[in-house]
């Protein structure tokens, strides 16, 4: 179960880090230490945001389905 939480976070972080590294490279394709730090920090922020949204949707959608089922089982007559 833990792997289902780690894989989306890690995949998002790795992808966003690679994209950001390309953005921060100079003309020679080199990265300074501060650019690497910035790319890594921003990649962590992106991964956290995406994984939090995923967790929220994962919790909201089943609740919405349960709410729908409840109305089907006990109609209010509206």
Cα-Cα-Cα-Cα torsion 55, 58, 60, 66, nearest 10 degrees, comes to: -150
Q: 14-52 in b/e burial notation, b at 16+ Cβ within 10 A?
A: eebbeebbeebeeeeeebeeebeebbeebbeebbeebbe
Evaluate whether residue 42 is within a structural domain.
Answer: yes
User: Confidence band (pLDDT; 50, 70, 90) for 63?
Assistant: low
Evaluate whether residue 34 is within a structural domain.
Answer: yes
CA–CA separation, 27 and 57 (whole Å): 41
Evaluate whether residue 36 is within a structural domain.
Answer: yes
Residue 8: per-residue pLDDT: 84
Q: Determine the number of helices (DSSP H) and then strands (DSSP E) in the chain.
A: 2, 0
> Does residue 77 have a pLDDT over 60?
no
Evaluate whether residue 78 is within a structural domain.
Answer: no
Evaluate whether residue 22 is within a structural domain.
Answer: yes
Evaluate whether residue 15 is within a structural domain.
Answer: yes
Residue 54: per-residue pLDDT: 78
Residue 42 structural domain: 2-73
Model-level pTM greater than 0.75? no
Domain count for the chain: 1
Reported as a single tens digit per residue, the pLDDT across 9-43 is: 899 999 999 999 999 999 999 999 999 999 999 99
Residue 75: per-residue pLDDT: 63
Residue 69 in tokens: 């089922």
């Amino acid at each position: 179960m833990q792997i289902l939480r780690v894989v989306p976070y890690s995949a998002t972080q790795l992808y966003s880090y690679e994209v950001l590294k390309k953005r921060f490279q100079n003309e020679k394709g080199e990265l300074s230490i501060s650019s690497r730090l910035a790319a890594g920090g921003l990649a962590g922020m992106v991964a956290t945001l995406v994984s939090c949204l995923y967790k929220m949707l994962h919790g909201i959608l089943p609740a919405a389905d349960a709410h729908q089922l409840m109305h089907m089982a006990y109609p209010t007559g509206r």
